Every structure is written in structure tokens, then in C-alpha cells.
Amino acid sequence: MAEVEIRDLMFTYPEMENPALCSINLEINDGDFVVLCGKSGCGKSTLLRHFKTVLTPHGTRTGEILFKGRALSEVDIRTQSSEIGFVLQNPDNQIVTDKVWHELAFGLESLGYDTPTIRLRVAEMASYFGIQAWFRRNVNELSGGQKQLLNLAAIMAMHPSLLILDEPTSQLDPIAASDFLETVKKINRDLGTTIIMTEHRLEDIFPAADKVIVMDQGSVIAQGLPREIGKELRGMGHDMFLSMPAPMQIYAGIDNEMPCPLTVREGRQWLSELFEGKPVEKKSIPIEADHFKEAETVVELRDVWFRYDKNLPDVVRDLSLEIKRGQLYALVGGNGTGKTTTLSLISGINRPYRGKVKLEGREVRKYSDKELFHGFLGVLPQNPQSLFVKKTVELDLFEAIGGTNERRRSEFDSDMDKRTAVEGMAELMHIGHLMQQHPYDLSGGEQQRLALAKIMLLKPRILLMDEPTKGLDNHFKRELAEILKRLQEHGVTIVMVSHDVEFCAQYADTCGLFFEGSIVTANTPRAFFSGNSFYTTSANRLSRHLFDNAITVKDVITCCQMNL
């Protein structure tokens, strides 16, 4: 039986000419695991929000959505709350209470269940999700991965038959994300819950999917089994093929007649069969040279210690770090290890109680805010919405260059100069068609691009970025990398906190691993990732039994071509 049916769904946001959703027809059966993918801004989140009437965005809609054979509009809110679970991108947007056990019980209390039932279900979910160890903790003490797991457990306590997840791992480190996605697979496998999820990390989730649906510009352009989708997208020459799992991309880059691998394990077997009986003579890709060894130090942290309260443990511990002019330095590591706090220390938002933070040789506390944030330091926060202050994208971009200080006046002599700068930046960030939309109506990836555009208009010499690739598809990640490289060529220094190991492996100059408030190791990407077992790329895990230092899809394809 069909759990959800969509018939000719059309949806247009207010004051927009082009529809956000165009003639969507889908049927999702009971117990299916469906992965919805597409470039950022293609309509994925808009479509998911139509599965629950309280989340449906304002606008003009035609067509119908059926839930278990009934029009969704006729299903009462109580039934929707209990039977349709929804996990949002940002875990903090969904948590409503102060304690973990309160959060687990909140939904059940709201639905009017009696106390014995609530206690039973809360205990069951805490055990199922492994929450017992932090059951009585305050919610604000949890890591991002724990918060997202708590959201999932609180929803599953209501026993929904349909679970919708909108990029639930976008703020999680690779290991926490992998654990979370394993739990989602387990729910589908053990409980038979129908799952619809959008996700940019397709490596972990693709093999578990019964059906993959690909969207582009508000329409469904392909749907089918995971193995078929990769082939279809490649045949179409579509950009979304760049987002397919690494084994599929490597397979597509090598001329062969064997079946297409989907997982790292299948990829390793395929690679072994490909080279069976053939000598592998050129086993290694050269380690990159460190081109910044002799460059001028722009950001320096020396013996830095920081805690948020005198009664709390240290978040940053004895951290020493040097970042050179024009360098792209990536800080990677688990949630809660101190990476974002380090960015706040560099920007002067927080101050260490011991140690020194220097920018261009001068202590950061000796700069005024005007000196720091007008053409010197740009900060892209983890939550891009914190930068949005106006009613449209266009007004928000103008706000970034609308100040009255001398530097801005001399740089933008007239309103025409400002308009040229804003329109050029909007085109560069692919948000020109969104200028009249409210920033909060944009998708996660579009909000990220708008936030970056606002920061770039200030022309900073040092750019601090917290999760810049969150919510971005692989196609725009490539374009972002090009933008960052151009900035580096102009002497801009970039410090980036990221959970996106594939992006760091491909584009960073140096990667530093954070653990317990300090950097335990730092090196060029190939030297850094090729030695790790878990904290590394899929391409490296797939090929390490044959090749040394191959950490990207391109590296593995190059090694194969050199030896075949």
C-alpha cells in the first residue's frame, strides 16, 4: 500500500514568477527507504515541508498529497504529529526543553498519553538509541550529534509510520554522521518505518535506499534504484553525478565492463578484480610540498587556554597555531572539540584567560571593532541566518556595503558602484534569481551562499569560515573552491572549520586535527588523510590496499590509469 502519494503538485512562493515545485508525481510505499537528492535550491526542502501541513510554506499550491489514501489536508493535526515525524537540519531548532528526559517525554505529553505509557516509551527509546549515559543531562551540554540523536529518539517515541529527515547530518562530524545514519537504517530495517530523507552525504546512505529521487529546478528528473540512478545521471551529463558516492565516480572514470560498485567494500573488491594478475608498479601519488613554510605568519595563537565559565572545563587547552598569508588552513575533528571556539578567539569575540592571539603581529584585543571588521576580518558563522537583517536578499547584500565609514565611501563612490558590486557578487554566488526573496525562505545551501556573499562584499584580508560547505551540493562546492583559490591568489588568508573531509582533502593547503581543545597533528592533505583509518575520505579507504596517498576520486582514477 502507498504510504504517500503526490499527484501533479505545483507550488510557487509569494511574488515569485517561477514555481519552486513543478508537476511532482510520486508514490512512496509502506516501509520504503527513499533518498531525495539534488543541487541546493532545487526544491528538496520545499517538497519535504509539504508532507506536514504545519510546516507547509506560504504560497500558491495546486495538486494533492495523499497520506495512507486520505488527502493530507483532511488528516487532523494530532494524527499528523504522531504518525509523521520530521527531523530538521539544525538540531537546536527542534529542541524545546532543558533536560534530555524532558525532551523524550515532551511529544508524548503533548499528545495526552498517560504517565505509565510515557515512562515505558521513554525508557524504551533511551535504551534503543543508547541515551542512558546522558539521560539526565542538560540539553545545552550535548554535542551536535547527541542533540540530533535526541531529536530522532523523541520523534520515534511517538511511533510514527513515516519519518522525514531534512539533511540531518549537515552539522555533524563524519563519525557522528555515520553513526546517526546507521541508526536511521536500523529504524527502517527493524521497525519497518517509511523513511524519506534528503542528504548531501550520499556515500553512507545510498546503499540502504530502496529508491533514489533526483530533483532539479523544482522537477523530478530521475527516480529508481541507486545503481541505475548513477548510470542515468552520467548518461545525461548532469552535474549531480559529481555528488554520487566515490566508488561510482571512480568506476565511471575507468573503462571497464564489470558491475558498478556502490559501497567502499564493493569498490575495494572491484579494484582488486580490476588489477587481478596485473602488476601495480606505480603505487604512490607524491605528497604535496608545503609552499607556505617561509611565508609571513598572519594568524598566531600561542599557549592559548579558554573556558566559557570559571566552573566549566577548558574548551581550548594549550593551543599553539600559526597560519600563513594566503594559506587555506582547515580545522577538522569531532563535534565539541573546540574548533568553533578557536574561530571565536581569532575573531576577538571571546578572549582567552591565558595565552596570546595575534593578527598580523598585533594582539587581537588591541584592535577596535571598526579596525577588525571593516576590510580586515570576515567571519562566516555556523548559522548563516545570524547575518540576515533585511526583508529581501538584495537589501541584505546592500546592507553589507551601506556603512558610512571612510573606507567604504572611497571604495564605492556612488550608488551605481554599490549596485555593480552587489549584482556581481550575486551572480558569482548564483543567487541573482533570488534577489526579491526573503532570506529565511531560501534553502540551507542558498542561505550559505548569501551569507558568504555578504562577507565577501566587505573584502576581508582574513576570512574565518565555520562549516562553509554545509548544505552545498558538490557542483557548487567546486565553484566555491575556485572562488577561495582566487581570494588566496590576492593574498587572502582563509581559516576554515569543516566536517567535509572530501572538500578539505581536495582543496585545503594544510589540515589540522582538533582533539580535546588542541591540535594534535597538522600536515598537507595527502600526508594527513592517508595515514588515518576512519577520519579519511572514501576514496582513500577504497584504494589504500593498492595505492599510497590517493585521497580523492581524481587521485584513484589517476593511479588506475597509470597502471592499466
pTM, full prediction: 0.83
Distance of CA 204 to the CA centre of its chain: 14
- The Cβ-side half-sphere exposure at 474, using a 13 Å CA radius, reads 21
Please tell me the predicted confidence (pLDDT) of residue 153.
Answer: 92
Region of residue 41 (left: phi > 0; alpha: psi -120 to 50; beta: else): left
d(CA 415, CA 210): 54
Please tell me the predicted confidence (pLDDT) of residue 497.
Answer: 93
Please tell me the predicted confidence (pLDDT) of residue 322.
Answer: 94
Give pLDDT tens digits for 89-123.
878 888 999 999 999 999 999 999 999 999 999 99
- Decide if pLDDT at 186 tops 70: yes
- Decide if pLDDT at 288 tops 90: no
Please tell me the predicted confidence (pLDDT) of residue 403.
Answer: 44
- Decide if pLDDT at 563 tops 50: yes
- With cut-offs at 50, 70 and 90, classify the pLDDT of residue 407: very low
C-alpha cell at 240: 549531480
More confident residue, 13 or 416: 13
- Decide if pLDDT at 19 tops 50: yes
Please tell me the predicted confidence (pLDDT) of residue 557.
Answer: 92
C-alpha cell at 173: 562530524
State the average pLDDT over residues 20-25: 92
Please give the full DSSP string across 461-522, using - where no structure is assigned.
Answer: SEEEEESTTTT--HHHHHHHHHHHHHHHHTT-EEEEE-S-HHHHHHH-SEEEEEETTEEEEE
Please tell me the predicted confidence (pLDDT) of residue 410.
Answer: 43
Q: List, in order, residues 6 or more apart from 291 with CB less than 8 Å away.
A: 509
Please tell me the predicted confidence (pLDDT) of residue 408.
Answer: 43
Give pLDDT tens digits for 58-97.
899 999 999 998 999 899 999 999 999 999 887 888 899 9
Please tell me the predicted confidence (pLDDT) of residue 293.
Answer: 85
Mean pLDDT of the chain: 88
421 phi and psi angles, rounded to 5 deg? -65, -45
Please tell me the predicted confidence (pLDDT) of residue 428.
Answer: 85
- With cut-offs at 50, 70 and 90, classify the pLDDT of residue 141: confident
Q: What structural domains and CATH numbers belong to the chain? A: 2-237 (3.40.50.300), 291-376+460-523 (3.40.50.300), 384-459 (no CATH)
More confident residue, 240 or 27: 27
- Decide if pLDDT at 7 tops 90: yes
Q: Helices then strands (H, E): number in the chain?
A: 21, 20
- Decide if pLDDT at 328 tops 90: yes
- With cut-offs at 50, 70 and 90, classify the pLDDT of residue 290: confident
Distance of CA 359 to the CA centre of its chain: 29
Please tell me the predicted confidence (pLDDT) of residue 412.
Answer: 58
Check: CB of residue 16 under 8 Å from CB of residue 393.
Answer: no
Please tell me the predicted confidence (pLDDT) of residue 413.
Answer: 59
Give pLDDT tens digits for 425-471.
998 888 998 898 889 888 778 888 899 899 989 889 999 999 888 87
76-80, 417-421, 493-497: which range is least confident on average? 417-421
d(CA 245, CA 88): 23
Please tell me the predicted confidence (pLDDT) of residue 247.
Answer: 92
Nearest to 219 by CA among 43, 34, 26: 43
Region of residue 277 (left: phi > 0; alpha: psi -120 to 50; beta: else): left
Please tell me the predicted confidence (pLDDT) of residue 411.
Answer: 53
Give pLDDT tens digits for 512-523.
999 989 999 999
- Decide if pLDDT at 49 tops 80: yes
